[in-house]
Amino acid sequence: MPKTGEHWKTFLKGLWEDNPIFRMILGICSTLAVTNQVVNTLAMCGAVVFVITASSLIVSLVRKITGKRVRMAVYTLFIAAFVIMVDIALKAWVPTIAKAMGPYVGLIITNCIIMGRAEAYASNNKPLPSVLDAAGVGLGYAMSLLIIAVFRELLGFGTIAGLRVFGPGFEPWVIMVMAPGAFFMLGSYIWVIRTIQDRQAKRKVEKKRRAATAA
Amino acid sequence: MPFDKDNRLFMVGFLVIASLVVTAALSALYAVTEPIIEQQKARLFQVRVLEACGLVDHGAEPDDGEIDRLYARIEEVPHDDGRTLYRAYSSERREELIAEALEISGSGLWSEIRLLVALTPDGGSIHGLAVVEQGETPGLGGRITEPEFLEKFAGLELGAPPEYVGIVAYETPDAPNEINAISGATQTSKAVQVILNEGLATFPTTAQE
């Protein structure tokens, strides 16, 4: 039985070290598609965090009775069920957001991050660590999307979550809210984060080397 | 016999039972939320009627109270062919008619497009247009729902039938009944033109002529 610290590490891994967007480069289509407005992005992130956590929990619970050959079918079944639940809930309570997100809610089913966590982690681990792992990766995805969305909406509309930030003299960069803007923004984001991570890694190596020579 | 999860019969049974459980759960959820979803849809439709009649700006999101207040100016009149004619008045007393709207539909490039088109009382020009439902490519044909496109129809004069309106691509609109197509969405724009021209021919005010 791993200690609490281990669980915490599992959770944090998805946020930084194994972040799905800038480390694993998974789930990119939804990142490009729904990040032009913060409100829609929030709905998408909430939906993904819910679906990934719930499906990882179920997959982990039934891992001992899931046959090898039907495991993919089982994951898809549960993931699809949770996505449909989210879709119904959005349509019933926030129809304008449901309309704005259009086909992308249904496409969460094909989000490779979710299937990836089910196959790589939840299918071989106990429910608690599986949920933490899924929540970490889900929130890591959400964090990346929100950062991208804030910049795109700010530059493209001059607003954040619909609130005006720049004065009326601001000329919106229309390209930022269109598809090419998503590519520019995602590319720059991955570049900046990877540079920071590389520096971190170098510093670690340096420290180890110094410790070794001192000894 | 020891338990074997990879036993063929067990796997099939497991999958069937899991599917049944999931289906039952989803059906229950659907049954509970269906009336709410229907109600939301009806609300959204009312907003579209108000948009077509120019009582609400395109893209504005009026709250329920606002919708009820404005919708009091709309009179729903059954049309001969089973459709409903929406008559919009300048006030709740329903004295001065400002527009008459009718739902029309037809096929777009990928999907059925449902529109609400409102004409001025004399039937001479379009008062407003709203999109009820469409499933065109997001970012291309899907842009027919954007205010920038829909606002072009307000006050557009109707031409001689059967070419009531022209949505032109690759050339500048030069007649009073013409507007520009959406760049990158010529097919969807042309579909809207066809739906409008066919639909307007069935309009009570234009059909009388």
Closest CA to A123 of A53, A69, A54, A75: A75
User: Nearest-CA residue of chain B relative to A180?
Assistant: B139
B60 touches chain A (CB under 8 A): no
DSSP summary character for residue A17 = T
Burial class (CB in 10 A: 0-12, 13-18, 19+), B36: middle
pLDDT at B23 over 60: yes
What are the distances in angstroms from CA A154 to CA A33, A167, B109?
17, 12, 33
Closest CA to A59 of A90, A28, A80: A80
- What pLDDT sits at residue A125? 93
Band of the pLDDT at B209, cuts 50, 70, 90? Answer: very low
Whether residues A92 and B33 touch (CB distance < 8 A) is answered with: yes
Amino acid at A140: G
The 10s digit of each residue's pLDDT in B33-69 is: 999 999 988 999 999 999 999 998 888 888 888 898 9
Q: Is A178 on the interface with B (CB under 8 A)?
A: yes
Q: What is the DSSP letter of B156?
A: P
Which residues from A are below 8 Å from B185, CB to CB?
Answer: none
Q: By the CB < 8 Å criterion, does A84 face chain B?
A: yes
Cβ neighbours for A76, distance < 8 A, ≥ 6 positions apart: A109, A115
The residue in chain A having the minimum alpha-carbon distance to the alpha carbon of residue B62 is A96
pLDDT digits over A156-211, tens only? Answer: 888 888 788 887 888 888 888 888 889 999 999 999 999 999 999 999 999 999 98
- Say if residue B162 is preceded by a cis peptide, omega within 30 of 0: yes
- What average pLDDT does chain B have? 88
DSSP E strands in A22-99: the ranges are: none
- Which residues of chain B are within 8 Å of residue A78 when distances are taken between CB atoms? 18, 22
Residue B170 carries which DSSP code?
A: S
Nearest CA in chain A to B33: A92
**Distance from A14 to chain B by nearest Cα, in Å?**
28
Round to whole Å and give the CA distance between A4 and A6.
5
Prediction ipTM score: 0.76
Structural domain total, chain B: 1
Which pLDDT belongs to residue B204? 74
Residue boundaries of the structural domains of chain A = 4-214
Print burial letters for A56-91: b (CB count within 10 Å at least 16), e (below 16). Answer: bbbbbebbeebbeebbeebbbbbbbbbbbbbbbbbb
Q: Do B138 and A103 touch (CB under 8 A)?
A: yes
Counts of helices then strands in chain A (DSSP H, E):
8, 2
- What is the extent of the structural domain holding B185? 50-203
B191's tokens: 């579909």
Q: CA–CA separation, B163 vs B159, rounded Å?
A: 6
Mark yes or no for CB contact B26/A77 under 8 Å. Answer: no
Provide, as residue numbers in chain B, all residues whose Cβ is less than 8 Å from the Cβ of A178. Answer: 139
Q: What are residue B129's phi and psi, to 5 degrees? A: -135, 145
For residue B12, is pLDDT > 50?
yes
Averaged pLDDT in 10-residue chunks for chain A of 215 residues: 75 88 87 86 94 96 91 94 94 84 84 92 94 94 94 88 82 83 92 93 91 84
